[in-house]
Structure 1
């Protein structure tokens, strides 16, 4: 028990300290920008001012790809990137909101505040689900997909993980966060399309929260049944899960596509590429998850029927099966 508590504390300290290099460097840049003569900034601070996107990629590459990877190799577990998926967008939106070049563009303050608030709500929801799933502990396990790849690549996993776990995340996270950059680059009055985007973002957060809560309750009930030696329920087919096989994924996608609408409204429709890549990746993950479900003998038959009758992502009514009892 003491060893587990010590490990939990160690992981928590590492998680809090790991973003400090980027944060401290950025604060140093802001200090020089505000206190030095703007016309005589040193080349490094001038570059940081002129290239906010490249600077963000620089931070991600060194602080996430290199440092997270190095820590993951030492710990033999790449758990931290899973947690920081919920944190990096918060860091990114505040970075874009405070970068001097964005402030010079005099972006719409209310749009910025709304996006920042929504990003915090989204992050809190995802963090809550992460820690609830992990029994409120830090770094207990890594994503099962990384564990599977570790077994697949064996002794080569230490270097392959840099590309498969981290470098790929830079493409996904920087891409889907591009609307946050756009919001802090353009000045336009709020309009009806902002309200549409905001409504979609909120809907996504709410749907994902309830879907994850229903899944958590289902898993908890099954765990109690196992402890009592009783048969478990093979498949969740209640609440939002009655209408969609992956309502949590659907809600998550709504959140990111809602941000795309905000960027499209400001004239940057091309930012949909980041969310599209993310959606395609999630579609692949959906296939992996369902294959994993079908490998579990106790639920395979029930899940096959569930697949035939239930929409994959978008919640919809059950399809009927001729010759089958609908209550089966």
Structure 2
């Protein structure tokens, strides 16, 4: 167990090195030239197309390399972990690019918030996995592998990796905007900061309450006692998925930064991510209803509790809340 954990940790640390080293070489070559016209065609292309370059890095290093690694390990666990890391890498990438033009305070705030978000999500990941590297892959990938059978090895490239490029690059578009427009801070930056921080706090509290609930149920199982069928306390008393709600607040808070800078189009990534999360919500609730011991309690929970946005309980006989 310890050996496998160490092996997975080493693989996780080494996996992004190709992109990091290439980018550092590009920056070194650019800084060594006093005139962009003397750059080689490769470095000139990297200089003039920062957003495309980010996509090339993602395709080659994540889609291709991570996929190859997943085939060797027979598990797609690493992409789940790197959801917490890639946004941090991207925000620093956009800031360090030679074409970057930004307000230093806004950039520093965005980077600081992204690190806090990443540390929160990474902590939740390792806490959930009992502090193991790659102990298991996302249950949705496991379900899909059963669904596609012998074709999963190639379907996984598109379903697990290529789709992640659309989501992650898309939701991180505000980072590109923040480092493309240099204007002073204003009141809307304050609104964006409040929304982002609120999202991080809500997600942290919700995940912590869920972790405590699962831990208590595991102890009850060990003692041979009946488990509690459903979490209906704390934020979960007012929302069936408060962790998802908090996560969405974070990403839409970043959209406010981009909108404030005159690039409202950057909302497209968060919109796609929200639509995807809505579908994931349906899958999660279907999974809950497949567990016999909690069917009755969860159906009652669905009838009385808002889906995402925390709100007061409704009457069991009333209509379902879909806030």
Report the equivalent of 2:227.
232
Quick check: 2:303–2:317 contact (8 Å CA) kept in 1?
Answer: no
Report the equivalent of 2:122.
127
Task: Give secondary structure in 2 for the equivalent of 1:196.
Answer: helix
Report the equivalent of 1:36.
33
More deviation, 29-38/246-255 = 29-38
Report the equivalent of 1:150.
145
Q: Deviations over 1:55-110 (max 9, x none)?
A: 000000000000000000111100000000000000000000000001xx3x1000
Root-mean-square deviation (CA), in Å? 0.8
Within-5 A mapping of 1:13-24: 13-24=10-21
In the alignment, structure 1 segments of 5+ residues that lack a partner are 324-328
User: 1:49 aligned to 2:44?
Assistant: no
Q: Deviations over 1:157-192 (max 9, x none)?
A: 000000000000000000000000000000111011
Identify the match of residue 95 of structure 1 among 93, 96, 113. Answer: 93
Where has structure 1 moved over 4 Å in runs of 4 or more?
none
Query: What TM-score results when the alignment is normalised by the length of structure 1?
Result: 0.96
Task: Give secondary structure in 2 for the equivalent of 1:96.
Answer: helix
Q: In structure 2, what is the Cα distance between the partners aligned to 1:307 and 1:276?
A: 24
Question: How many aligned residue pairs are there?
Answer: 317
Shift of 1:51: 0.3
Report the equivalent of 1:293.
288
Q: In structure 2, what is the Cα distance between the partners aligned to 1:119 and 1:321?
A: 40
Report the equivalent of 1:212.
207
Report the equivalent of 1:117.
112
Quick check: 2:91–2:176 contact (8 Å CA) kept in 1?
Answer: yes
Q: Deviations over 1:278-317 (max 9, x none)?
A: 0000000000000000000000000000000000000000
Q: In structure 2, what is the Cα distance between the partners aligned to 1:18 and 1:322?
A: 52
Q: In structure 2, what is the Cα distance between the partners aligned to 1:272 and 1:249?
A: 18
Shift of 1:320: 1.3
Q: Deviations over 1:248-274 (max 9, x none)?
A: 000000000000000000000111111
Shift of 1:322: 4.5
Report the equivalent of 1:247.
242
User: 1:316 aligned to 2:316?
Assistant: no
